Chain A
Amino acid sequence: MNALRHHRALTEIWGTPRGWRGTMISVNHSDIGKRFILAAFAFFAIGGVLAMLIRAQLATPDSAFVGPAIYNQLFTMHGSIMMFLFAIPMFEGLALYLLPKMLGSRDMAFPRLSAYGWWCYLFGGTILIAALVLGVAPDGGWFMYTPLSSKIYTPGINADVWLLGITFVEISAMAAAIEICVSILKLRAPGMRLDRMPPFAWYLLITAMMMIVAFPPLILGSILLELERAFDWPFFDPAHGGSPLLWQHLFWLFGHPEVYIIFLPAAGVVSTVLPVMARTQILGYGAIVAALIALAFLSFGLWVHHMFTTGIPHMALGFFSAASALVAVPTALQIFAWIGTLWNGRPELKLPMLYLLGFFLVFVLGGLTGVMLAMVPFDGQAHDSYFVVAHLHYVLVGGFIFPMMAGAYYWLPHFSGRSRVPRLGEAAFWMILVGFNLTFFLMHLTGLLGMPRRIYTYTDDMGWTWLNLLSSVGSFVMAFGFALFALDVGLQIALSRRSRRNPWGAGTLEWAMPIPAPAYNFASQPEVADRDPLSGDPLLALKLARGEGYLAQARHGWRETMAVDSSSGAIDHVVILPGNSRLPIVTAAVTGCFFLSVLMGYYWMALLPVMAVIGLGWRWAWALGSRADVGPMAIGKGQTALVHREAAGGPAWWGSIFLLVADSVLLASLLFGYAFLWVVAPNWPPPQTIDGGLGVAIMTALSGSAAVFLARRSEASGRQGSLGMAGQTAIGAACAHGASAIGLLVIGITALPPPSNHAYAAVAWVLLAYGILHALVALLCAAFVRARIGGGYISARRFREFEITRLFGDYSGMVILIILLCLFMPSIAL
């Protein structure tokens, strides 16, 4: 088959139909990635306009431009949009678009999940922007400290918009995190060992793992605060055994790693673009990976530096101060590795390099002020002043926007297939650089002169007038710079001449394809033998297009891509990915109905979309699989491999593992909250604790364990091919899970005080609800397996669905034991 016919056959399989229908059903990673990037840029523009309104208000003292009510919405939404609707989705989009191409793969591991995440992001973001337009946007700061965000002090729906809208958007972040982990670990080109991955993949792998651990505390905090606002469950109310500091701990447990979650993907862009700009290879690949891992661990140990002034114990201050300073070391290592790379090569001042130099200047200054803020006595003065505003913008704009702009110009030819319009980009760069520094460099001084954050006006006698005016002027220069950037990109896409392939002479695989990229990425997948496959073999793109790699054959309409052993890169199996589907957009819309019902206060009505999501989830899983065995299939180069349905350790298994890790972090955060309140909050011990229910608890634990045991029997029967037996045992397991759920509910009703009575009861009820939810999920999984046996999807070769079921069943059995221990141990011990 010649290259053109091959291209048509593959496009038929991987492509997206034209028009609206295609837009709604596409699950292709390039489509989804580009949409994330475009939408994130649109939200960036909205956030930027809010920032300009802020600067217009602060330009002069005693300004009457906007009042405090609107101003508070402006800065709350500016922060929330830039964090949740711009920075995270922007790098998610870049990762979705680039990762499969860099890894020599054809798509991400869970294409429908990427599409679902995209729609959740779009719908959630729309809710937030709609609230802004209607004038009911969140106004309690992007950090939403309680009790200001509690019902008494924020009676309107402003805070609910934040809690529900952001949680909705976070679904997409969690989806992307799980998907990125699995795709990097499993879906690579054969031969790409972990140490042959491009640095960008390492950065994204670490980032995604951090997201899996960092987001659950915030999701939990949002759930608890929403429960307090909606039903008076007093988690954060000191009068009833709650603590406002619990919110701060949960928020910053997320909030600090979040900074590195935003920085690392951008640093990955630096590590990718900088060596190409200097015509060399990155210095200290291994040391950089080690630094990343150190950074990931350290970043979870320094959230308290946002709370130095909350009166926490003195020893803790010293510890967290040291940890906050220590985190500068792995960052410094990367900075000097990059400079060393430049020294080793022959750097050229092309536009991406210009942005990288801007990154060095801005980010190093931000890092140095970060070290200053880590010093407790200095933080006492600078905390919550404009010094911190300056610092965080130096870190986030320097550490995210400048590298991403370098990346934008570097990869734009890949997106558009065109080369740049001359000179416009340089003008935009200088406006952004000068405008940024004029705006924010002065703010260090404004802060030291005592201007606190989040004040809507000030008087002339404070001595901040000229500083604020110059900052405002600078911000408008910067805004024009970004507008010019948008214009430049638009011109390049619409008007510019075509670019040649691999215009920068890069060595990574995303350039081993025609640009703009075809829907299937690679007509055949490469065999990788080093870190820069394209440098070693400049004709690689042609060879792949001619079908000289793996999976060159287009067959059965299957979307095939190779899965490898996660560390050695040896061929493992072939994954057949699901094709275009309406399920993601429908499920996201129904999910949105749930959030809207809760937002409007129709709590009972919210159960309807929950039922619908369960039904859709069932269909989602049902649509996969096959009723026939495939056996070893040819993959090219005279080799064969199994399909993922028949092989161990497929994407679904890995995805479930990462989902359960995130889930267990949520539980751990809840248990941390339980212990924290018990030890720290006022008005403990509670007036009433758990009373009785031990008998039911023992029965619940037994039935949870029985379910775990039965699931194993069911799997063993299924593997041996006795499907009737397997089906019956699966039903038994489902019943046992159901019995545990009922047992937990009975404990709550008979033995616990009502949740609004005290923070103790509220946390205990949430623990029970967590257990009930997981028992029900395990029940559904067991029932699903039973139905799949009936449907003929299970055979002695195709029994992998048992393994997934077992994971969720085991997890449910385990958490029920943990929850019961945590509820009953204290009352027995006391």
Chain B
Amino acid sequence: MIVGGCGGPLSTLDTAGPASSDVATLWWVMLSGAAMLTLLVLTLLLLAFSPRNRPFKNGGRLWICWLGVAMPSAVLTALLGYALILGEGSIAEPVPGRVTVEATGHQWYWTFRQPGSNSVIATRGVLHIPVGQPVDVRVGSADVIHSFWVPRLGGKMDAIPGQINILRIQADRSGVFEGQCAEFCGLNHATNRFRVVAHDERDWARFQQEGGR
């Protein structure tokens, strides 16, 4: 469900996979909480200027113990618990048989390698994945630090020279999803873009056979 004005090729709110839609839900929950807290603070501030006699004079315990410590602690504990459970579900754990692709950041393009039916398929600028199943992306770098980010599918993962980081993405429907390098990587960082194409079952089989040609 797209709220008006939240669409766009790189929108984190126009979600197309489980990871990104979990985060979008988390965002809407946090937004409403933050709005309520802001309202609380502003109301208390305004009331301080009202001329009538105010209660809670010298109410150190109310201001400091309850509002200052207990309230934020309770809110934060609940939020942390929610976020930790959400994070737990999105960890990339090795599972045999899962589609695994290698993504390598360069100045200023991306290359991808993945096993095909006959040989290794190497692509540049476009990553092909199947719809409806999790894909492990092994993110690495050929030169400086980059970051692999397809906002409509999920969070980002840095491409750091000398190490491989694993990110799990999943597309719930077929289509083309825009990706963007998210870590500043020099002169043409702005145009360091790529695409993810999610194939349905028939297209995916054909891609694996023909290597995307």
| Residues of A near any B CB (own CB < 8 A) | 68-69, 72, 140-141, 145, 147-148, 153, 238-239, 243-245, 278, 283-284, 287, 309-311, 314, 317-318, 321-322, 325-326, 328-329, 332-337, 339-340, 342-344, 347, 349, 357, 360-361, 364-365, 368-369, 371-372, 375-385, 445, 448-458, 461-464, 681-683
Contact = CB atoms under 8 A, between A and B. Distances in A.
A681 to B, nearest CB: 7
A785 B101 CA distance: 68
B98 interface: no
Contacts of B166: 311
Contacts of A449: 6, 8, 10-13
In terms of DSSP, what is the predominant structure of the interface of chain A?
Answer: helix
A375 B160 contact: no
Interface string B138-173: 010001110101010011111011110110000000
A321 B80 contact: yes
A244 B37 CA distance: 39
Contact of A360 (B12, B37, B41, B163): B41
Contacts of B163: 238, 245, 311, 682
Interface of B: 5-13, 19-20, 22-23, 26-27, 30, 34, 37-38, 41-42, 44-45, 47-49, 54, 56-60, 62-64, 67-69, 71-73, 76, 79-80, 83-84, 86-87, 90-91, 107, 139, 143-145, 147, 149, 151, 154-158, 160-163, 165-166, 178, 180-190
B182 A310 contact: no
A147 B41 contact: no
A681 B84 CA distance: 28
Contacts of B27: 372, 378, 381, 448
Contacts of A328: 72, 76
B72 A381 contact: no
A69 B184 contact: no
Contacts of B158: 309-311
A310 B23 contact: no
Given A145-B145, A148-B144, A329 B161 contact: no
A69 B71 CA distance: 48
A375 B145 contact: no
Contacts of A456: 190
A382 B10 CA distance: 12
B10 A681 contact: no
A318 B187 contact: no
A372 B20 CA distance: 15
Nearest to A247: B145
A347 B80 CA distance: 36
A334 B72 CA distance: 12
7 contacts: A311-B163, A318-B87, A329-B72, A332-B69, A343-B56, A372-B27, A463-B11
A148 B79 CA distance: 36
Residue of B5, B57, B107, B182 most packed against chain A (CB within 10 A): B182
A321 to B, nearest CB: 7
Given A321-B84, A368-B38, A378-B26, A452 B149 contact: yes
A375 B10 contact: no
Given A141-B184, A450-B11, A336 B67 contact: yes
Contact of A153 (B10, B12, B144, B160): B144
A332 B162 contact: no
B145 to A, nearest CB: 6
B58 to A, nearest CB: 6
A690 B37 CA distance: 59
Given A377-B86, A455-B190, A448 B41 contact: no
B102 to A, nearest CB: 15
Contacts of A450: 8-12, 151, 178, 180
A652 to B, nearest CB: 40
Given A329-B73, A368-B37, A245 B59 contact: no
B16 to A, nearest CB: 13
Given A284-B60, A344-B57, A682-B163, A329 B182 contact: no
A309 B165 CA distance: 9
Contacts of B149: 452
Given A318-B84, A450-B9, A372 B56 contact: no
Given A318-B84, A461-B9, 10 more contacts: A141-B184, A147-B143, A310-B165, A329-B69, A336-B64, A340-B67, A365-B38, A371-B30, A453-B184, A683-B162
A455 B193 CA distance: 12
A145 B183 CA distance: 10
Q: Which 4 A-B pairs have the closest CB atoms?
A: A380-B155, A238-B162, A450-B10, A340-B63
Given A148-B185, A450-B12, A311 B190 contact: no
B40 to A, nearest CB: 10
Given A148-B144, A311-B165, A283 B60 contact: yes
B11 A333 contact: no
B22 A377 contact: yes
Contacts of B10: 449-451, 462
Given A343-B54, A456-B190, A283 B160 contact: no
B169 to A, nearest CB: 11
B72 A147 contact: no
Nearest to B84: A318
A462 B184 CA distance: 19
A318 B84 CA distance: 7
A11 B22 CA distance: 68
Contact of A309 (B63, B156, B161): B156
A375 B79 contact: yes
B73 to A, nearest CB: 6
Given A145-B145, A147-B161, A455 B189 contact: yes
Nearest to B66: A336
A68 B107 CA distance: 14
A284 B63 contact: yes
A377 B155 contact: yes
Contacts of A344: 57-58
A243 B63 contact: no
B97 to A, nearest CB: 23
Contacts of A347: 48-49
Contact of B12 (A284, A448, A461): A448
Contacts of A322: 80
Nearest to A451: B10
A321 B85 CA distance: 13
Contacts of B38: 364-365, 368
Contacts of B12: 381-382, 385, 448-450
A471 B20 CA distance: 27
B182 A147 contact: no
A304 B90 CA distance: 20
A644 B108 CA distance: 63
Contacts of A384: 147, 156, 182-184
Contact of A337 (B41, B49, B64, B155): B64
A493 B49 CA distance: 32
Contact of B180 (A145, A326, A452): A452
A681 B67 contact: no
Given A376-B87, A378-B23, A454-B184, A340 B161 contact: no
Contacts of B80: 321-322, 325, 375
A384 B184 CA distance: 9
Contact of B34 (A72, A321, A372, A457): A372
Contacts of B86: 377
B63 A375 contact: no
Nearest to A310: B158
A379 B184 CA distance: 17
B86 to A, nearest CB: 5
Nearest to A245: B160
Contact of B41 (A238, A339, A445): A339
B165 A325 contact: no
B63 A339 contact: yes
Given A336-B67, A339-B48, A381 B60 contact: no
A457 B190 contact: yes
A368 B165 CA distance: 30
Contacts of A376: 83, 87
